[in-house]
């Protein structure tokens, strides 16, 4: 049995994490290049601290998650990426990684987590995953990515502000 660790991503993970994203078959080559650039920015001290990368490590990276703080909102985060290598899917790894992200955001005072994904049939398992993890569909933007490809936004409250509820 391997040692599974969810940990902050480090520069040595970059190549393996890009391979994980590529192996899912859900990222176009230009999106993989964008991920490479985002990781380079993150590790090149060009990051402003409003984002973080997490790695699922089992004797090497098998999963990745990336979050960004929404700049014009109060403690709202956007999960920009979560991916588990296809050979390691359906083992609970994605759920565990997402739960870890949620806990990390709660520790930072996170209030709400948004997730955006494609409305294409290839992303049906992805959408079902978010629903199983307690996310609700909040919005659909038709033809967002391209004609015929909607963007679907899911949301999950990370914390409840009890003082706001008492006033109602």
pTM for the model stands at: 0.84
Question: What is the pLDDT averaged over residues 146-163?
Answer: 85
pLDDT for residue 136:
97
Q: Is the pLDDT of residue 39 over 70?
A: yes
CATH 3.40.50.300 fits 4-166, yes or no: no
Chain centroid to CA 11: 18
- Assess contact for 55 and 63: CB atoms under 8 A: yes
Over its C-alpha atoms, the chain yields an Rg (Å, rounded) of: 16
Which of 26-40, 120-134, 151-165 comes out lowest in average pLDDT? Answer: 151-165
Q: How far apart are CA 16 and CA 14, in angstroms?
A: 6
pLDDT for residue 44:
83
pLDDT for residue 46:
56
Q: How far apart are CA 114 and CA 132, in angstroms?
A: 15
- pLDDT above 70 covers what percent of the chain? 90
Q: How far apart are CA 55 and CA 42, in angstroms?
A: 14
User: Tens digit of pLDDT for each residue in 7-19?
Assistant: 989 899 999 999 9
Q: How far apart are CA 75 and CA 161, in angstroms?
A: 12
């Amino acid at each position: 049995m391997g040692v599974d660790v969810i940990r902050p991503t480090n520069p040595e993970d970059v190549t393996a994490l890009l391979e994980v994203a590529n192996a899912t078959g859900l990222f176009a080559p230009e999106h993989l290049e964008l991920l490479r650039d985002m990781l380079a920015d993150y590790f090149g001290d060009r990051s402003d601290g409003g984002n973080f990368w997490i790695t699922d490590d089992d004797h090497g990276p098998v999963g990745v998650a990336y979050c960004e703080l929404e700049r014009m909102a109060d403690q709202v985060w956007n999960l920009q990426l979560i991916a588990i290598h296809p050979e390691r899917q359906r083992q609970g790894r994605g759920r565990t990684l997402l739960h870890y992200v949620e806990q990390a955001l709660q520790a930072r005072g996170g209030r709400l987590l948004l997730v955006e994904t494609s409305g294409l049939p290839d992303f049906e398992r992805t959408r079902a995953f978010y629903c199983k993890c307690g996310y609700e569909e909040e919005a659909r933007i038709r033809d967002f990515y391209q004609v015929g490809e909607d963007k679907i936004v899911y949301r999950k409250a990370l914390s409840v502000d009890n003082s706001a509820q008492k006033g109602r």
